[in-house]
Structure 1
Amino acid sequence: MHSYARAARRFGLLLPLLLLGTAPAAVIGPTAALAKDAPAAARSSVPWLYKGSDVPVDPEWTFGTLPSGLRYAVRHNGVPPGQVSIRIRIDAGSLNETDSEQGFAHLLEHLSFRESKYLKEGEAIPTWQRLGATFGSDTNAETTPTGTTYKLDLPNATPATLDETFKLLSGMITAPIFTAHGVKTEVPIVLAEMRERGGPAQRVAEATRALYFQGQPLANRTPIGKVETLEAATDASVRAFHDRWYRPENTVIVVAGDVDAAVLEAQVKKWFGDWRGVGKFVPTPSFGAPAAPKGSDPANPVGDAAVLVEPDLPRIVNYAILRPWHQVNDTIAYNRGLMLDQMAQALINRRLEARARAGGSFLSAQVNQEDVSRSADATFVSVTPLGEDWQAALRDTRAVIADALARPATQEEIDRELAEFDVAFAVPVETRDTLAGSKLADDIIRAVDIRETVASPETVLKVFRDMRAEFTPAAVLAHTRALFSGTVTRPVLVTPKASDATPASLRQALLAPVKADGSSRLAAKAISFKDLPPIGPAGTVTAAAPTGLLQIESVTLSNGVKALLWNNDAEPGRIMVKVRFGNGYGAIRPEDATYVSLGNAALVSSGLGTLGQEELDRISTGRKLGFNFAVDDDAFEFTADTRPADLEDQLYLFAAKLAMPRWDANPVVRAKAAARLQYESYVSSPQSVLQRDLDYLIHGQDPRYKTPTPAELEKTTPEGFRRVWEPILASGPIEVDLFGDFKREDAIAALEKTFGALKPRPAATSARFAPPFPAPVTRPVVLAHHGDSNQAAAMVAWPTGGGRAGIRESRQLEILAQLFNNRLFDRMREKLGASYAPQVQSDWPLDRETGGYIAAAGQLTPQAVPAFFSAADEIAADLVANPPTADELSRITEPLKQLISRAATGNGFWLYQLEGAAVQPSRLGEVRSILDDYSRTTPEAMQALAARYLVGQRSWRLEVLPEKLVTARAGIPGQPAASN
């Protein structure tokens, strides 16, 4: 029972899956056999996805199977209006490859887009753009170890465009054209993708996967493949792979969109009905099973260990408890077992988090169970030590787990997690009408991949609530013990120092006995909002008037707080809340800049009133409450998604943070530790160097955009944190924006009781904030990385402008940037194969007058950096000299038009566009022209913009090169990594 049943994995561990190089979508095995005792009539009427399952069929889907064996599922869905989402999954990924075919499944995905029955070479991207779909977001594909999925979200679907789309997709899947030229052209693009993924993190991923799955194909089968097999690929060898696996029997087509299901079903039959496989059907190969080492202790079968030395990565200890994967029937009883497994994990992860918050030896630790690529049923444990003592961190994590294995949880602890589960399953019921067709289609594809079913939100909630009595301490203990029992356990230590450990000492650390530690078990005492002190005497509404835009209302409270209210039913059961206050970056003095990043990490968790981080978690139990914080150019922001029943309490949390902030020290200490650990990894690749330095450099080295160094972090204190943030929370204007499903009278009452009760606020202090674009350079600024020697990155940027007076120009510049992007993509990827995904973007800050730019960037080899700069300069010069063609321009404006039209059906779009409009009503008018500004222009207007801004002598350039190359160029040992 896919999707919702697994939604309760709130503490899911992402890292092991990233290390394995697998996608979360690929996890379980062959289709379950139909229950033998089911009546014949029932067997014949059960949709193919539900064979062997007693999970109620979701009636909104229409399922079918063609005579060829191709399976499909279609449904009507009107979110967003006019869109149709199509997914075509081939049950063949990298685990279906032979030794000489490694990388072919992914290469074939690329070649299917290059040329096919109805698409000539190079026509795919322009064709989808003319249909209004953006390549890379609306049109995409992915290959995992167990499958390949082609994705298309077709906007503004008409009978003609829908038919044309199915025609084109059928040609890509059933009749791709393989030529020697096509293979020769596409292989360098795949190799560029492989290169851009490389570096220390990729080495760790490959070594971890090889250890965990030793003796199994997954150990050395990744979708990206190997250089030698890709370079040896021919049109004949790729065709052989296609003919073997691209067959109707291995294909599932899923379509959900704003078209009658019968029409969608007819399209599937029309364009795929006569497809037949080539040759005999080939069964899926065995993916093996984990095996225990000979002579190991059956009670504690610890196998081989690996110590991976990467000087630029922080320490982390991972281990996997591996069991053979087995096919299961996706029954209600099976899903009840999954929910008990999830309960066991949630209890342990909450205790581990409590231990870390209290100042334990680890920064973070988590456990997570996953079925991985039909290869293993695994429980992963991941530990990030707080310092160098990884042994203590591992020991303390194991001690918490040992306690969970030794004695049952209390019913009070379980009930706390049950409340969290309940809200996780209830919210989809309340918001089911907001689910996009793309999400629904993806859910079916994932269910097919993991060989499960899908269920309606109501079914999932009922299954959960019907089994609540089964969540007993004894049952949870039994499932906990099963999760930590297995065929073999294999540990990995990633460390910057070879002296930290050996495989033998790591293995011994995992074998060493530990004393169960129950100190982090948390009392389940409930906290009620009714017990919290009021913000103050309730305020009143002193002004309320329509804005003249949609049905949005502007409200002013008696203390000066302003609000925008838009109660609508576009997204039933959901309310988006945004609170803007103060002056944003402008309120932070440059000398206090280090506290910006610490504020992002620790301001919320430092607490409010009588509530620390644990109490905030507890008071939110069973509620849909959020608390996100961000710093913008002109304001600080709290944001959350909530529901009508929780709106007042959501507003209380935000208002109380401003009225009665708390200043717990541990969150600041923990944020500092996390920032120090992360800083160590910033030199590991060109991408991470850019993540560290680009914002700082392109904003004229304004310190508020700088990633603080460990030395700078060391100077910060909890007291300094409070000194910087306390006056920020207490001053400056406040705007509250509520967009969504609420009753006006309820929202007004909640606002008066919370934000209306705040004391009048003094004006916020403001530092000088006008970060300039960097001065032009004659030679690129050079940064160094410690990653692979074949990796580099380059950027060229031209200054533009800023400010709300130029909002139309900022939108037109987005069109120019996309024109530039298409040409750079064609030059660097399609023609040279030098960069997998070069990008061009326009950034025009609306809330300050300086610092805007158009930037072109790409990841390359060091040798290709000059070619990148030449290509960018030539494209810029041509855009200045010659207007684009009308067709080229329409391939930008039509997708932008469709993107805006789709986005405008949701509250998030309007909330983003109108933020700040209660304080600055002029912003309301700016949104009226947005569709026109992004979708209407002329070739001559684009040429004029290019002439105004793409001026070569004004450009700023940056390159990130291997450190050895930077040093060699300088000719001086120890040359600094960055220079102008």
Structure 2
Amino acid sequence: MLVLLANVLYAQDKLAQKIPVDPNVKIGKLSNGLTYYIRKNLKPEKKVELRLVVNAGSILEDDDQQGLAHFTEHMAFNGSKNFKKNDLVSFLQSIGVEFGADLNAYTSFDETVYILPIPTEKKENIDKGFQILEDWASTVAFENAEIDKERGVVLEESRLGKGAQERMQKVYLPKLLEGSKYAERLPIGKDDILKGFKYDVIKRFYKDWYRPDLMAVVVVGDIEVADAEKYIKTHFEKIKNPSKERTRVEPPVPARQKSEAVVATDKEATNHVVQIYYATQKSTPEITVGDYRAYMVRNLFTSMLSQRMQELTQSANPPFIFGGSSLSGFVRGYEAYASYAVLGKGGVEPALNAIILENERARKFGFTAAELDRTKKTMMKGMERAYNERDKTESDNFVQEYINNFLEKEPIPGIEVEYSYYQDYLNSISLEEVNQYAVKTIPATSANKLIVLTGPDKAAFTIPTNAELLALTEAAGKQEVKAYEEKAVATALMESAPAPGKITAEKENKILGTTELTLSNHVKVILKPTDFKNDQVVFSASRFGGQYLYSADERNNAEFASVVVSQMGIDQFSPVDLRKVLAGKTASLSPRIGAISETLNGQSSAADIETLLQLAHLYFTKPRKDDELFQSFISKQQAMYQNMTADPQYTFQDSVFHILYRNQPWAPRVPKAEIFASINEQRALDIYKERFGDATGFTFVIVGAFDLAKIKPLIASYIGSLPASGKASTFKDVGLRPVKGPLKKEVRKGTEPKSFIRMFWNGQAPYSDSEQLKLSAMTEVLNIKLIESLREDLSGVYGGGMFGSLNKFPYNNFAIGASFPCGPENVDKLIAAAHAEIDKIKTNGPSEADLNKVKETWKQQYEVNIKDNSFWARQLIQSVEYGSDATNVLSYEKRIAALTPKDVKDAAVKYLDPKNYIQVVLYPEK
């Protein structure tokens, strides 16, 4: 008895202990209050992730500053003490840091975070990286002319957010955040303030809130801790706080005092969504080990409830397309229980009934032992994989943890400690404990709540008034509730392995580190064991074939055949059953029938390779037919797309396809509700079987953490046993070609003053790897120049750019496009400026400096990719498809180094021919 009591007291004492801080991260604080986090991490090598975190966002703006927290973030890239206008971005591009993709920032209600990855091969790059952080923190220039130029860019970003969702949000947000300042401080701000604020107003925000005691510097990557700490002290110790500090307020979010309903409709909305928000409450920080254990209970509850909600969508007439319930936060320090559903054909009432009934079922009856057991297995597997990858974790994962620790006091004990907590506590969490959490967390149906319905103003069902919506919700809470019934499923994917085939030939490529197997069914398998990750295996399989082999009359069945099978499952397992039988395993696979090929792609943990191969075998041999799940898929897709044409962007894209391809039967298209009504279940399944029922011609590629000797018998068993007739499979060229230019068209749709420019160049051209590289270099150089001109000089766009590719199949061709969202008043000016930049490249070629920026960016990306399993899987599959030498991937750096300005100029002249030019512009309705 005394021993038992001692054990209980010890366990209680351990739960009361504070969660420790990971010893691998050094946390410090300078005398001026700035906090810093430093961790040495070698994934990826020769790179360090830098962050400046400012505990200040839009919530701190004065009335005349609405939008200026975000505007301040923009100005940080527009000149500072040590970096004149454009110098900062230009320097970073020269060392391979891409603007937007790598170099970035964001502003929210409560914080502003600057993102800066720096290559570390050269010490001077690191020096400048820390200088940039210092400048952002203390010496942003705020030159008047630059402020005025940036107004246009920020207003363009604001324009992007305008439309149906924004208009409806204006209706319900004041109710959602009623009584809180958050309702009046959306980060994008107000257009009239952005257009006309005086220069000192934004400078006041910067002076008040960009100060060391509200900042953190995070440094994670290939750098010594002592060196990073020295940099931080050198650059940030000297920054002083203002003599009169304003108090950093945290506005309250009052709890809801009554139940209300709000209906907000818009003619350009696409889907009806119902949301239920219960009373807001303060969130509880995790401080002790007991708090961490409680967090595990919460995760178990959330996961099981989500799985139940997903199951509701699997009926022939689902109550909603998708939905869920959870306890989550939308502003820092507060959380609320909320439910949502994207409505199906049945409308509001069945969706409300379903989500409220499922909440009440969990509250009254809890979960089952089988549900808890599966979820524990899944959670434990996820933690085990994270633990197995502890020395291969990418730096940006650590960075986000430390940002959350600074801003929200999220614990950072480190993966070793978290794994030990899972081992110690996960299995001890009882079903009763989780069910008690459900009772405590899910509000009673009579609780105060806000019900929000948004969507199109036209619908196949009656849209309720505010009062009717509230009444429907209250009525839904009075339904009879029964306990959840657990359906038994098999305990294994396959009862026994199939009769194996044989490995008839084996060829090693020592340069690539690959082994190619030929099996007795003539299928080829390429294996590349790697140490890039400790617990990851990537799988790909591909061959020529695809949708184009079928007549245009069968397009809908061919196009959606693989999607339909994914919705119905394999063998005896529906998707829900598949999730249950795979609990505690990490293995996933998706089949796809494309235009000219069929593919399988997936991945698994190192321990679950056999499960991955079993999935592959079953997707080839036992696709499942399920009438109810087929009807469920059709119903959800029809509901999803029935109002999509109300969206101006959707209509514009549809128009672009019609303009480019006229009425060709295999032309690209946007999904529409009527497409799904014509899909025939049996014919779609037959087409799937025709494409995957015969493995002849498939090449399988497996890359990752596996042992060659152990995987070979599994391959012989699950891949070698696949049926293969020996009949060759190839693709068909159906003659799909874009129209020839020159051609200019306008599309009128939408009420907001929003335009969208699309530019195209298409044509036939012979494919080669070297030519593809030149075309890509051309588009990337032009992206640099177009952003400089259209964004920085003209202030006419927030984003956009050029893209292009050279294609070998189904015919040798090139396709280049450019897209820019903008204001209607700027369309002609921006198109003229874009063509001016194109003409400069065609006449003079790019500068050596701009081409070097592209080369350095590609070099940096390559150094990361060459140690990535998915990258290798793609390269090996592509080398088979293109009939190219796979070792070309190893000479990539030499090939990009050999690119010259003349190569880019020649590519521009060759591909950007005005005779091939097509232009389509979206304007608002007249």
TM-score, structure 2 normalization: 0.93
Q: Is the 8 A contact 1:824 1:872 kept in 2?
A: yes
CA deviations over 1:364-421 (Å, ceiling 9, x no partner):
2211221222263112211122214311221122112211111122222211211111
Which residue is 2:587 aligned to? 625
Q: CA deviation at 1:597?
A: 5.2
What is the CA–CA distance in structure 1 between the aligned matches of 2:594 and 2:256, rounded to whole Å?
53
Q: 1:496 corresponds to which residue?
A: 456
Task: State the shift of 1:838 in Å.
Answer: 2.2
Counterpart secondary structure, 1:358: coil
Distance 1:109 1:383 in 2: 35
Please give the secondary structure, in 1, of the residue aligned with 2:768.
helix
The equivalent of 1:106 in structure 2 is 70
Aligned to 2:43: 79
- Which stretch has the larger CA shift, 493-502 or 424-433? 493-502
Q: CA deviation at 1:517?
A: 4.1
The correspondence for 1:834, drawn from 778, 796, 812, is 796
Whether the 8 Å CA contact 1:325–1:371 is kept in 2: the answer is no
Once residues 785 and 761 of structure 1 are traced to their aligned partners in structure 2, the CA distance between those partners, rounded to angstroms, is 52
Amino acid at match of 1:266: K
Q: Tell me the equivalent position of 1:968.
A: none
- Aligned partner of 1:196 among 156, 160, 164: 160
Distance 2:504 2:660 in 1: 44
Query: How many angstroms does 1:504 deviate by?
Result: 0.8
Write the deviation string for residues 444-476 of structure 1: whole angstroms up to 9, x where unpaired.
113323221223222222222322354323221
- Residue in 1 that maps onto 2:26: 62
Query: 1:708-753 deviations in whole A, cap 9, x for unaligned?
Result: 4322321212123213322111234212111111000121111111
CA contact (8 A) 1:434 1:571 kept: yes
Residue 352 in structure 1 maps to residue 304 in structure 2: no
CA distance in 2 between counterparts of 1:195 and 1:337 reads 43
Q: Following superposition of structure 1 onto structure 2, how do residues 628-647 of structure 1 map, counting pairs within 5 Å?
A: 628-632=590-594, 634-647=596-609
Q: Report deviation, 1:817.
A: 0.3
Alignment partner of 1:382 is 2:340: yes
CA distance in 2, matches of 1:65, 1:584: 60
d(CA) in 2 for partners of 1:137, 1:341? 34
Overall identity of the aligned pairs, in %: 20
Change (3 A) 1:661 1:592: same
In structure 1, the partner of 2:713 is: 749
Stretch of structure 1 that moved more, 251-260 or 514-523: 514-523
Aligned-partner residue type, residue 811 of structure 2:
E
Runs of 5+ in structure 1 lacking a partner? 1-51, 297-301, 966-980
Letter in 2 for 1:662: R
Match of 1:48 in 2: none
Report the counterpart of residue 794 of structure 1 in structure 2: 757
Summarize the Cα distance change of 1:589–1:93 in structure 2 as closer, same or farther, 3 Å threshold. farther
For residue 647 of structure 1, report the CA deviation from its aligned partner: 0.1
Cα 1:497–1:283 change in 2 (3 A) is same
Q: Is the 8 A contact 2:784 2:850 kept in 1?
A: no
Task: From 328, 334, 339, give the equivalent of 2:285.
Answer: 328
Would you say the 8 A contact 1:772–1:851 is kept in 2? no
Instruction: Give how far 1:203 is off.
Output: 2.7
Summarize the Cα distance change of 1:802–1:420 in structure 2 as closer, same or farther, 3 Å threshold: farther
The answer to whether the aligner puts 1:149 opposite 2:142 as a matched pair is no
Give unmatched runs, 5+ long, in structure 2.
Answer: 1-15
Give the counterpart of 2:619 among 651, 657, 666: 657
Distance 1:585 1:414 in 2: 42
1:259-311 deviations in whole A, cap 9, x for unaligned?
21211111111111211122322222232123333xx4xxxxx2343343445
Q: Structure 2 counterpart of 1:60, which letter?
A: N
Distance 2:305 2:570 in 1: 26
Report how far residue 433 of structure 1 moved. Answer: 2.5
2:515 maps to 1:515: no
The residue type paired with residue 566 of structure 1 is: K
| Alpha-carbon separation, structure 1, partners of 2:809 and 2:921 | 29
Q: Distance in 1 between matches of 2:114 and 2:897?
A: 28
Cα distance in 2 between the residues matched to 1:800 and 1:155: 38
Farther-moved stretch of structure 1 (463-472 vs 192-201): 463-472
What is the rounded CA distance, in whole Å, between the counterparts of 1:849 and 1:281 in structure 2?
Answer: 66
Distance 1:75 1:825 in 2: 35
SS in 2 for 1:275: coil
**Alignment correspondent of 2:381:** 423
Asked if 1 retains the 8 angstrom alpha-carbon contact of 2:596 and 2:732, the reply is no
- For 2:61 and 2:112, the matched residues in 1 are separated by 13
Secondary structure of the residue that 1:703 maps to in structure 2? coil
Which deviates the most, 157-166 or 771-780? 771-780
Deviation larger for 208-217 or 499-508: 208-217
Shift of 1:577: 1.1
Q: Which residue of 1 aligns with 2:701?
A: 737
8 Å Cα contact 1:581/1:733 also seen in 2: yes
Q: Could you tell me how far 1:133 is from its partner in structure 2?
A: 0.6
Aligned partner letter, 2:454? V
In the aligned structure 2, how far is the partner of 1:557 from the partner of 1:417? 38
Instruction: Report the counterpart of residue 849 of structure 1 in structure 2.
Output: 811
Counterpart CA distance in 1 for 2:734 and 2:807 is: 11
1:569 aligned counterpart, secondary structure: coil
Match of residue 686 from structure 2: 723
Q: Who is 1:482 aligned against? A: 440
Change (3 A) 1:689 1:914: farther
| Inter-partner Cα distance in structure 2 for 1:769 and 1:100 | 61
TM-score of the superposition, structure 1-length normalised?
0.88
Distance 1:284 1:258, change over 3 A: same
Change (3 A) 1:827 1:398: same
Q: What amino acid sits opposite 2:714 in the alignment?
A: A
Q: How far is 1:766 from its partner?
A: 5.3
Shift of 1:852: 2.1
Helix, strand or coil for the counterpart of 1:115? Answer: coil
Q: Contact 1:431–1:572 at 8 Å: present in 2 too?
A: yes
Structure-2 change in CA distance of 1:887 and 1:583 (3 Å): same
| 1:254 and 1:444 in contact (8 A); partners too | yes
2:534 matched residue in structure 1: 572
After TM superposition, give the deviation of residue 769 of structure 1 in Å.
2.6
Between the aligned partners of 2:685 and 2:567, the Cα distance in structure 1 is: 13
Preserved CA contact (<8 Å) 2:361 2:483 = no
Report if aligned partners of 1:773, 1:850 keep a CA contact under 8 Å in 2: no
Match of 2:889 in 1: 927
Q: What's 2:426 paired with? A: 468
CA distance in 2, matches of 1:840, 1:53: 55
Query: Measured at CA, do residues 957 and 821 of structure 1 come closer, stay the same or move farther in structure 2, by a change above 3 Å?
Result: same
- Counterpart of 2:875 (choices 913, 932, 935) is 913
Equivalent residue in structure 2 for 1:305, among 258, 262, 267: 262
- How much does 1:687 deviate? 3.9
What is the distance in 2 between the residues matched to 1:764 and 1:960?
46
Which secondary structure does the structure 2 equivalent of 1:433 belong to? Answer: coil
Question: Which piece of structure 1 moves more, 248-257 or 891-900?
Answer: 891-900
CA distance 1:335–1:206, change in 2 (3 Å) = farther
Q: How do residues 945-956 of structure 1 correspond to structure 2 at under 5 angstroms?
A: 945-956=907-918
Other-structure match for 1:172: 136
Q: CA deviation at 1:53?
A: 7.7
Match of 1:134 in 2: 98
Give the superposition deviation at 1:495. Answer: 3.0
1:372 is paired with a residue whose SS is coil
Matches within 5 A, 1:373-412: 373-374=331-332, 376-412=334-370
Per-residue deviation at 1:768? 3.1
- 1:764, 1:672 → 2: CA distance? 33
**Which is further off, 203-212 or 716-725?**
203-212
Contact 2:503/2:716, CA 8 A, preserved across alignment: yes
Match of 2:553 among 585, 591, 596: 591
In the superposition, relative to structure 1, how do residues 802 and 215 fare at CA in structure 2: closer, same or farther (>3 Å)?
farther
The one-letter amino acid paired with 2:672 is T
Q: Note if contact 1:211-1:304 (Cα within 8 Å) is conserved in structure 2.
A: no
CA–CA separation in structure 1 for the residues paired with 2:418 and 2:490: 26
Contact 1:798–1:853 under 8 Å retained in 2: yes
- After TM superposition, list the pairs within 5 Å mapping 1:12-27 onto structure 2: none
Partners of 2:428 and 2:550 in 1: CA distance: 53
SS in 2 for 1:188: helix
